[in-house]
Structure 1
Amino acid sequence: MNLNSENDGAPPFPAGSPPPGLFTQNLRVLCERFPGLADMLSLHNGMQAGAEPAAIPSRYRLEYTRDGQPLISVDGFFLQSRYNPRREASRTLDDPAAGFSPEGCVFAGLGSGYFCLEYAARFPQAVIVILEPDVHVFLLCMQAQDLRPVFERKNTVLLVGMRARDCALTVEKLREAGACLPVFRPPALGKISADWFAEFAETVRRTQEKRNINHNTLKRFGGLWLRNMAKNLGEMQTRCGITPFAGVFAGFPVLLLAAGPSLDSVLPLLPALRETCVVVAVDTALRACLRAGVQPDFLVLVDPQYWNYRHIAGLSAGRTFFITESAAWPAVFRFPCRDIFLCASLFPMGRFLEGGGDRGTLGAGGSVATTAWDFARYLGGNPVYAAGLDLGYPDGKTHFHGALFEEKAHTESGRLRTAETAAAGILASGGAFRAEDTSGKTILTDRRLSLYSWWFETAAAAHPETQTRRLSDSGLRIPGISAADPEEAAALPPRRKDIDRILERIRTETAGGQDESAQRAFLAAEQNLLRGLEEVRTLAENASRLCTKALRSAESGRDGGGAQALSALDEAAAALDRHPVKDVLAMTFTESGETFAGNPEKNAAGSFFANAGRFYDKIAESAAVNLRALKKNAASLKNP
C-alpha cells in the first residue's frame, strides 16, 4: 500500500459511504492477530455474524474529502487535515523535526489512520505501537481504512481503550527491552480525549525522568555496588531469601514506619500500635522506634551506601528480622538482630548468582520506603498503615526529630553554618516546589520525592487488594492512598500473640540459613560467572585488536580487509549479545564519550574502527574489574 502518491482522480468509493466489506476484512485479521483485544471489544460475535459494529454514537462521524479520502470527526472536530490527510501524513514523515525512527514508533492516537499507515508502508520491519483511548474512533477507523497492513505485522502492538498510565508503562517496558520508540501524537488529536493525552504525556515524562535518574545513579555508584556485592558473597551463599514470609500475615494490619517529620506525632502511640499491627520500619526510622521503646518486627535496608549503614550503626534489635539486599554496605551484616534475610537482588550480578532461585522479589522505586511498602504487601498485610511517609517537607522539616541527619547537622554546625542553614540547603538542592497535601493544603516537596509519590500511586493502582492509609494528613497527596487517624489503628483488636507465634515459627524453620544444596548451587554459579567473564574479556580484547589492525590499514590507505574485519566484528558483537553474563557488566560499563581524534571526512572507516575499538576496550575493562572484585573475595565462600 503506497500512501505517498496523491490520487486526485475519481474517489475510490462513493463519497459518504465506506467500501463494502472493509470492516469485516479488518475484523478478520484483528481477531486472528489480537484475539484478546477482540474479546475486550466484544467483536468476535460480529465476526461470526459478518455484521458491522454496534451503533456508534452520532457525535462520531465518518466523512470524506473532495477526492474521497475518509476522515473521522468528533463533535464536528476533524482528526486530521480536511483537505488532503494522505499528503499531510507523507509530509509529516518527511520532516526530520517530527523525529520518526525507522526502528519503531508509538502513535499516541490512531485518529483517521493515515500516519500509521504511511509509516507502515515506509518501514516494513519497524515496531508499531498504536495507543487509541477512544474505542469508537478505533471502530470507525476500521470502517474507513484498510488497516490490514498494520494489523498483519508481527511487530505491531495495539492498546485500545486502556488507561493512559497503563499505556505509558507498557511503552516503558518495550523501551527497557531495547526497542527504540519515539512517541508521535498527531497534533489534531490533543483536543479529543485531552485528559487522557495529558496523563499519558505526564507519565511518559516521569518514566523518562526516572530512567535518567537510574542511569546517573548507576554511573555514579556502579563500582560501589560491585565492591559491596563481592564482599558479601559469603552472606549471599548462606542467607535465606524472604520467601518464608510470603503471605504469612494475610489479613493482618501492618504498620509501615518511614522517617518523615510526621513520624513524631505517631511515636507516642507506637507501643499500642505494636499490639495491633505487624511493624515494618525503614532503616532511617529505627532510632525513633527504639527511642519509643519498640523493636520493629522487620527492618528494611536496601540502599548500598555507607550512610544508610550509619542509620543502624551502634544500635541493636534482638527481636527484629532484618531484610536487606546483597549489595548493601558489608557492615550491615554485623547488625545485632533476630536474623538477616536477603530479598532477590536488584542488580544483574546478584540475579546471575542466585541462578533463578526464588529469594523473593521486592519492588524498588528509588526509596527504601517503596521497598518497605512492597514488603508489607508481600507479607499479605491489609491494610497497611503508613507513618512518616510524607514525601515532602511539612513545616520545612526534612525528617523526624532526632534523626541521624539532624544529629549530624548539629554536630557539624558552627557559627557560620548552623543546623538550620544545612536544612535549608537540603530544601533548596532538589528543585523544591509546592504541591497539594492529603488535607488539600500545600506542602513543600521536590522532584525526587514527587517521583516516589508517583511510584506509590502506580503501586496502589496495581494492587487494589492492598489498602494503604497514612496516619497523617500533612504528606504529599498520593491518589489511591487515604488518611487515617492513628487512634483507629491503635484501637484494632490485639494481634501481638499471633504475630509473635508466626515469627517464632519462621525463626525456627530458617535457623542455619540456606541448606547445603543451595550453597553448592551458589558456588557453582559463582564459578560459571568467573568463566563467563573471562570469555567476555577475551572476546572483547580480540575484537579490540581487530579494530586496531583495521584502523592502521585504513589510516595508511591500504586495503586491509575492511570487509573481513566488519564481518568478524559482527560475529563478535553477536557472541557478546548472546553471552549469559553480558548484563553483569552493566554496573561498571560506561560508554565512552570520546570521539575519533582524526579527520572523519578523511577516513570514515578509520573513525568507525577507532570508536569500535574504544567500545570493546570498555567491555574488556568492565569484565576485568568484575573479575578482580570476585577473585579478591572468593575466599569467603564455603565448599559444603
Structure 2
Amino acid sequence: MLSKTVLISESSTHPAVFRNCRLPVFFFKSVFPLGKLIERHAGIVSELGAGGSVATTAWDFARRLGCPEIYAAGLDLGFPGKRTHCRTSLSSMYTQLRTNRRLSVDAVNFAGITNADPFLTENNSGGMTLTDNRLIIYKWWFEGQIKSAPKGCLYNLSKEGIKIDGMEFRGKTELLKKPVIRPGINSTIKERIDTAAEIYSKNGFNNIKKLVQTIITECSRLEKICSAAAVTLKELQTVSEQSTLQNGLKLLSEYDRQISDSPSKELTGFIIQPVLNEIIDEEKSMFENSGKLYCSILEACEYHRIHAERALSRMA
C-alpha cells in the first residue's frame, strides 16, 4: 500500500524512519538549528506551517499545492463517542500493549480524555462533542490560518468533529462523486520525483557529504578547544598570583571567542543552548559553570562527531 507513497518530512525526524524507509523523501524547512545547517547545503527552500500536529502540516501542504478543494478526514479534534482514537490506530494498539491487571484499557482511555480539562463544544452536526484544552488549540490554529490563507474550499468529513470556522462539513457521499483523477496525479508525482532525483544526484548528495565532513571537522576542532579550556580552567583554580590569573582568563576568553566564532554557528548554538539553560537555572561559581559548559560542549561534540562519522561511512 505504501509503495506509491511519498514521504514529506523535516530533517529532525528520527533517523530510523529514513533508514527503514524505501520511499521517495522530500524535506521541508526545519525549525531546528542543525536542520537549518543541512538546508543551507542541500538547497531546501520549501516551508510548511508547524502547528504541532501532523494534521496542521498536512493541511498547509495541501494549501501550498494550490488545491482548489481540501477535504479533511478524521479531523475531529475531540472525543466523539468518548473515544480517543479509532480502534485500529497505532495509539489504540499501543494502549493495549501498555495495559496490565492494574491498568486497564478503560483506565488509560479515561485518563486520556480527562487529564486536560475536557468540555463540550459544538460539532459539525449541530450537536456537542467532548474536547479538551489541548485539542482546542488546534481548532484555533486552523481558524487563524484559514483567515490568513488564500480563499479556497475547505471541508471537514467528520460529522461529530468539533466545528472549525471556515471549514464547512461535507459528507463522504459528495466527495465520492468527484471524478477519479488518481492516474493523472500519479503521473505528475512520478515526473516531479524523477526531476528532483536528477537534480539531487548532481548536487545534493555531494553537498550533504561535504556538510557531514564539515561537521566532523568542526566538532573535532571544538573538542580540542574545550579540552584545552577545561585544562586551563582547572589550573586557574589553584592560582593565587594575580598576573597569572589575568593571563589565564584572557586565554579562556580567546577559547570562548573561537567557540562563538565557529563557521557553523547553527551547530554550535544547537550544542551550547541546552547547557546555557541549565547554567542559568543554577547558582554556582564562575569556575563551576564554565567547567560544566566546556565539558558539556565537549561531550556533545563527541556525540555529534561519532554519528557524523557513521553517516559518512554509509555515504562511501
**Normalised by the size of structure 2, how large is the TM-score?**
0.81
RMSD (CA atoms): 3.1
Q: Aligned-pair distance for 1:400? A: 2.0
Q: What does residue range 619-638 of structure 1 map to in structure 2 within 5 Å?
A: 619-638=297-316
**Structure 2 residue 256 is matched with structure 1 residue 573:** yes
Partner of 2:51: 365
Residues 447 and 518 of structure 1: CA distance in aligned 2, closer, same or farther (over 3 Å): same
| Structure 1 residues 407 and 455: CA distance shift in structure 2, 3 A | same
> CA distance change for structure 1 residues 443 and 539 in 2, over 3 Å: closer, same or farther?
farther
- For 1:570-620, what per-residue CA distance to the aligned partner results, in whole angstroms no more than 9, with x for missing partners? 444343333233432565553245543xxxxxxxxxx22322222222222
2:242 aligned residue: 559
**Cα separation, 2, equivalents of 1:613 and 1:410:** 46
How far did residue 489 of structure 1 move?
Answer: 2.9
Could you say what secondary structure the match of 2:238 adopts?
A: helix
Once the two structures are TM-superposed, the CA of residue 360 in structure 1 deviates from its matched residue by 2.8
Distance in 2 separating the partners of 1:477 and 1:545: 62
Displacement of 1:365: 2.4
- Cα distance in 2, alignment partners of residues 479 and 398 from structure 1: 23
Counterpart residue number, 1:351 = 36
| 2:289 equivalent to 1:608 | no
Which deviations, in whole Å up to 9, do the C-alpha atoms of 1:509-550 show, x marking residues without a partner? 345782133221221111112112222223333333333333
Deviations 1:246-283 (A, max 9, x none): xxxxxxxxxxxxxxxxxxxxxxxxxxxxxxxxxxxxxx
Partners of 1:381 and 1:526 lie apart in 2 by: 37
Partner of 2:231: 545
Distance 2:262 2:152 in 1: 40
| Cα 1:511/1:629, change in 2 over 3 Å | closer
CA–CA distance in 1 between the matches of 2:164 and 2:249?
Answer: 53
Aligned partner of 1:501 among 168, 172, 187: 187
Change beyond 3 A, Cα 1:516–1:466: same
Question: After superposition, where does 1:117-516 map in structure 2 within 5 Å?
Answer: 316-326=1-11, 327-335=13-21, 339-354=24-39, 355=41, 357-358=43-44, 360-410=46-96, 413=99, 416-429=102-115, 431-434=116-119, 436-439=121-124, 442-510=128-196, 514-516=200-202
Please give the alpha-carbon distance, in whole angstroms, between the structure 2 residues aligned to 1:322 and 1:566: 51
Question: Do the aligned partners of 1:469 and 1:484 also contact (CA within 8 Å) in 2?
Answer: yes
Distance 1:409 1:575, change over 3 A: same
Q: Give, as a single letter, the amino acid of the residue that structure 1 aligns with 2:297.
A: I
SS at match of 1:627: helix
Name structure 1 gaps, 5 residues minimum: 1-315, 597-606
Q: Could you tell me how far apart the structure 1 residues matched to 2:225 and 2:142 are?
A: 43
CA shift, 1:492, in A, is 3.5
| 3-state SS of 2:52 partner | coil
Report if aligned partners of 2:226, 2:298 keep a CA contact under 8 Å in 1. yes
* Structure 1 residue 387 displacement after superposition: 1.2
Equivalent pairs, count? 308
Q: Rg larger in 1 or in 2?
A: 1
User: What is the CA distance between 1:390 and its match in structure 2?
Assistant: 1.9
1:357 deviates by 0.8
| Structure 1 residues 436 and 619: alpha-carbon distance in aligned structure 2, compared to 1, 3 A threshold | same
Tell me how far apart the structure 2 counterparts of residues 545 and 418 of structure 1 sit (CA, whole Å): 55
Greater RCO structure (CA 8 Å; 6+ sep): 2
In structure 2, C-alpha distance between the alignment counterparts of 1:466 and 1:525, rounded to whole Å: 40
Letter of the 1:619 counterpart: I
Instruction: Point out the more displaced range, 378-387 or 471-480.
Output: 471-480
1:617 is aligned to 295
Report how far residue 626 of structure 1 moved: 0.8
2:221 to 520, 528, 535: 535
Q: Following TM superposition, by how much is the alpha carbon of 1:627 offset from its aligned partner in structure 2, in angstroms? A: 0.9
SS at match of 2:184: helix
The answer on whether the counterparts of 1:438 and 1:482 sit within 8 Å (CA) in structure 2 is no
Segments of 5+ residues of structure 2 without an aligned counterpart are none
- Cα distance per residue 1:281-332 (max 9 Å; x no partner): xxxxxxxxxxxxxxxxxxxxxxxxxxxxxxxxxxx42232232343334255
Q: TM-score, normalised by structure 1?
A: 0.43
In structure 2, C-alpha distance between the alignment counterparts of 1:472 and 1:385, rounded to whole Å: 10
| Contact in 1 for aligned 2:76/2:160 (Cα 8 Å) | yes
